[in-house]
Structure 1
């Protein structure tokens, strides 16, 4: 994910929020085999090893590819 310009777009973060709230995150975790930490010590280990950062980057990339790039941007819809 070298081009992060879409991070400045509030629509991207709305897509991320909806991905978490709608259950996309849980399905994504199941399909990818990734996991969230179950305890504070697991979170610290994940942070120290870089695993947590890798999972977050992969999730954001998939939100971009499967949601943000697929669903029409509200500005595009409004401008017809």
Structure 2
């Protein structure tokens, strides 16, 4: 069973936002060979085939593994 508790943690979503803003997303796309849709029709095809959902799920999993699970949580830092 997959543990999705991190989805309820605002810190996780801050990590996701920073991953997108910092350029991590672009490097991640390059390294994984995934792509973002270039047009509305590509987005619809990706949605219909499940590709877009798979890419999003994989990206969120990598943010969790490489950022969220690695960088100390602000609450842990504050509590020493």
Normalised to the residue count of structure 2, the TM-score between the two structures is 0.98
Give a deviation string over 1:14-64, Cα, whole Å, max 9, x none. 000000000000000000000000000000000000000000000000000
Extract unaligned runs of 5+ from structure 1. none
Deviation for aligned residue 1:3: 1.3
The number of residue pairs the alignment matches comes to: 80
Mapped partners of 2:35, 2:3: distance in 1: 26
SS of corresponding position for 1:20: helix
Measured after TM superposition, the shift of residue 2 of structure 1 is: 1.9
In structure 2, the gaps of 5 or more residues are: none
Structure 2 CA distance, aligned partners of 1:3 and 1:53? 18
Measure the CA separation in 2 of the matches of 1:51 and 1:65. Answer: 21
TM-score, L = length of structure 1? 0.98
The Cα of 1:72 is off from its aligned counterpart by: 0.1
Kindly report the root-mean-square deviation, in angstroms, between the aligned alpha carbons of the 2 structures: 0.9
Distance in 2 (CA, whole Å) between partners of 1:2 and 1:44 is 28
**Distance across 1 between alignment mates of 2:46 and 2:2:** 22
Distance (whole Å) between structure 2 residues aligned to residue 59 and residue 16 of structure 1 = 9
